[in-house]
């Protein structure tokens, strides 16, 4: 606990970028939740632009606004 799931349009991330992303998110999660480093998991999933609305926006953003701590401006 906790698990962070990141969905994004396809972009090539090299190993260094992935590590920086993981390190930054992990540090923030640890500071805010008081979690230990080994308890944090992070998933990254590329979603094609033409599938974004049906697979991400509608089910995870529009249908669940009560779970958002930051909403998109689109």
**Position 60 in a domain:** yes
- Region 41-56: mean pLDDT is 98
Based on the number of CB atoms within 10 Å of its own CB, is 61 exposed (0-12), middle (13-18) or buried (19 or more)?
middle
What is the total count of domains within the chain? 1
**Position 45 in a domain:** yes
CA dihedral sign, ordered 30, 31, 32, 35? positive
pLDDT, tens digit, 9 for 90 and up, residues 3-27 = 999 999 999 999 999 999 999 999 9
**Position 74 in a domain:** no
Range of the domain at 24: 3-67
- CATH at residue 24: 3.30.429.10
**Per-residue model confidence (pLDDT) at position 35:** 97
SS3 call for 46: strand
State the pTM of this model: 0.90
**Position 73 in a domain:** no
């Amino acid at each position: 606990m906790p698990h962070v799931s990141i969905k994004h349009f396809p972009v090539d991330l090299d190993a260094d970028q992935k590590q920086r992303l993981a390190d930054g998110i992990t540090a923030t999660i640890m500071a805010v939740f008081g979690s230990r480093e080994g308890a944090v998991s992070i998933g990254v999933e590329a979603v094609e632009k033409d599938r974004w609305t049906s697979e991400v926006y509608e089910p995870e953003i529009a249908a669940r606004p009560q779970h958002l701590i930051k909403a998109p401006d689109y």
